[in-house]
Structure 1
Amino acid sequence: MGCDGGSIPKRDELVKQKQKQAKVDQNIINRVQWFTCALSKKSLSTPVVSCGLGKLYNRDAILEFLLDRTSYGDGDLICSHIKTLKDVVSLQLEPNPSFAENHQSSLSHDQEPVARYVCPITFKEMNGKHRFVYLDTCGCVMSEQAMREVPSKTCIKCTKPFETFNVIVLNPKPEELDAVEQAFVEKQARIQAEKKEKKKTKSQKKDLKKMNGANSNLLDSSTSSKRKLDEATDSPKHKKQHLSAKVPSVQPTQSSTHSLTATVAAKVAEQMAANASRQKSSALQSLYTSERSSKENFMNR
């Protein structure tokens, strides 16, 4: 059928078949996810941070992105959920003693690189072949195997307490992304609710403190007013006014006033005469007396 020139068509050329998905080498994926920054595509170097979805970034790349969100072309597609530095956690990574920077640069794509970091408990390399997790409470990174072998509610490395939702898987598998995103959304909602509750409690405490201050000021003002009233009551001027208010003043008539003045004048004259008679000496008095004294002297002889 149309075999001119002796060519025989193949079945693939005549029948359309479903195209097979191209297989991607897992080693290449691991090298991209575990050895390079998800934003800048540069090699990971301390300090390293991670978001709630478990992606790894260089801290300086995140700072550049927050200062200018257009500094990386695909930044909004990769880390649009990062708004501030509070949305990432600084990771406490254990360096790999066998890692050498010069040796890594000379490796080809076919050779497996040596991981820069290892688990502080099992010393397994963080190269994508083993699942690693970190705690968003302290930032300590360890293998998932170490977490299972040493079950505890405190961090194995720094003994800081944590809950189940504080465990974040680094670079989760594609089939786990939906569950990770759902957990991330629930966690953000929980954080917002806690912030609102703290803000409400803080405002209530502030209002209560303000009410207590107003009551204290009112009590102080009433106490000072009472003290001032007591001081005014105890003052001599107030006592004089109080006594004058109690004793009514009597306005004498004109006739009674003249009689009272004459009586007082007579008493004063009598008192003056008595004083004058007292002041005379016995010798002078003897000159004007008619009786002779039993004791005569040259004055009265």
Structure 2
Amino acid sequence: MGCDGGSIPKRDELVKQKQRQGKVDQNILNRVQWFTCALSKKPLVAPVVSCSLGKLYNRDAILEFLLNRSAYGDGDLICKHIRSLKDVVTLQLEPNPSFSESHSPSLTNHDQEPVSRYICPITIKEMNGKHRFVYLDTCGCVMSEQALKEVPSKTCIKCAKAFESFNVIVLNPKAEEQEAMELALLEKQARIQAERKEKKKAKAGKKELEKMNGADSSLLDYSSSSKRKLEEATEFTKHSNKKRHVAPASAAQTAQSSTLSLTAAVAAKVAEQMAANASRQKSSALKSLYSDGRSSKENFMNR
């Protein structure tokens, strides 16, 4: 326990404790988030876009990522929720008149404070991470959260376009805010998919209804045309009968009709005589089967 060359273990060596996460310098984090693209890590240059999670990207980097999702090594981890340009909004940023490329310090120089390229159009505050900034996904206008609170309105302060509270997206939110925004994004995507399915079903039902209506209209046209043809034939028959009734019959026509009537009467008489002879022959043939000179008790079945 002592004086034997051994050592006394400390509590940290015997009990496993949760490792403390190292604190990140907020100034360095602000420079990375507000001055560089979250995907390419290059300085932000217009046109700048943002997603539903409030991250800032260069539009060129997003296009490269959509064309080749392996263009950036950690692209699927940073912006896996971006599947098309519809998932990002082009930001309408207000340029900072005091910004200069030649006099602006490097982002790696921590001794000097970098000057932001953009400012709030209302409060003139720089978009450098020291102040909270938001944008409206309806128009893409960017402003400080303070300006949005000081001028309460349902229309954009900059372009006067209407918006709702859920259209306000915080740029580079805090960790706890980002988790809530991710859940809201998942709910939004599920709602959009459900709406698309409903639209597809409604479109399919509309097509079926149009087909049925087309078939009904064709049948209706066919029936109307048939009815019209029938009416025309009836009218023609009435007209012909009227002409036949009004026009006086000639002597030749009268004689011809009399001849036809006589011929028909003779033919009917001959047919009647032939039917009587056939019936008489049939009766004699049946009688020969049962009688043929034998006793009356004997018939065809017991001969």
**TM-score normalised by structure 1 residue count:** 0.71
SS in 1 for 2:212: helix
Render the CA deviation track for 1:89-141: whole Å, top value 9, x for unaligned. Answer: 11111111111122225562321111111112222111111111112222121
| CA–CA distance in structure 2, aligned partners of residues 253 and 185 of structure 1 | 98
- In the superposition, relative to structure 1, how do residues 2 and 26 fare at CA in structure 2: closer, same or farther (>3 Å)? farther
- Alpha carbons 2:105, 2:113 under 8 Å: kept: no
After superposition, residues 159-178 of structure 1 pair within 5 angstroms as 159-178=160-179
Unmatched segments (≥5 aa) in structure 1: 257-301
After superposition, residues 277-296 of structure 1 pair within 5 angstroms as none
SS in 2 for 1:66: helix
Residue 78 (structure 1) shift: 0.7
- In the superposition, relative to structure 1, how do residues 137 and 228 fare at CA in structure 2: closer, same or farther (>3 Å)? same
**Which residue of 2 is the match for residue 111 of structure 1?**
112
Using the aligned pairs only, state the percent identity: 69
Render the CA deviation track for 1:194-213: whole Å, top value 9, x for unaligned. Answer: 32333333334433333333
**Which residue of 2 is the match for residue 81 of structure 1?**
81
Q: Match for 2:258 among 245, 252, 268?
A: 252
**Which residue of 2 is the match for residue 179 of structure 1?**
180
Q: Aligned Cα RMSD in Å? A: 3.3
After superposition, residues 78-227 of structure 1 pair within 5 angstroms as 78-104=78-104, 108-227=109-228
- Alpha carbons 2:156, 2:162 under 8 Å: kept: yes
Residue 182 (structure 1) shift: 1.3
Pair 1:61-2:26 in alignment:
no
* Paired residue type of 1:175: E
Question: Highest CA radius of gyration, 1 or 2?
Answer: 1
| CA–CA distance in structure 2, aligned partners of residues 77 and 106 of structure 1 | 28
**Which residue of 2 is the match for residue 16 of structure 1?**
12
| CA–CA distance in structure 2, aligned partners of residues 210 and 98 of structure 1 | 65
- Alpha carbons 2:136, 2:168 under 8 Å: kept: yes
- In the superposition, relative to structure 1, how do residues 87 and 15 fare at CA in structure 2: closer, same or farther (>3 Å)? same
* Residues 197-206 or 78-87, more deviating: 197-206
- Alpha carbons 2:105, 2:112 under 8 Å: kept: no
**TM-score normalised by structure 2 residue count:** 0.70
Residue 180 (structure 1) shift: 1.6
| CA–CA distance in structure 2, aligned partners of residues 143 and 126 of structure 1 | 8
Residue 226 (structure 1) shift: 2.5
| CA–CA distance in structure 1, aligned partners of residues 39 and 92 of structure 2 | 20
SS in 1 for 2:104: helix
**Which residue of 2 is the match for residue 299 of structure 1?**
none
- In the superposition, relative to structure 1, how do residues 242 and 150 fare at CA in structure 2: closer, same or farther (>3 Å)? same
- In the superposition, relative to structure 1, how do residues 193 and 158 fare at CA in structure 2: closer, same or farther (>3 Å)? farther
- Aligned residue-pair number: 248
Unmatched segments (≥5 aa) in structure 2: 263-303
Render the CA deviation track for 1:263-290: whole Å, top value 9, x for unaligned. Answer: xxxxxxxxxxxxxxxxxxxxxxxxxxxx
| CA–CA distance in structure 2, aligned partners of residues 240 and 102 of structure 1 | 105
**Which residue of 1 is the match for residue 36 of structure 2?**
36
- In the superposition, relative to structure 1, how do residues 106 and 184 fare at CA in structure 2: closer, same or farther (>3 Å)? closer
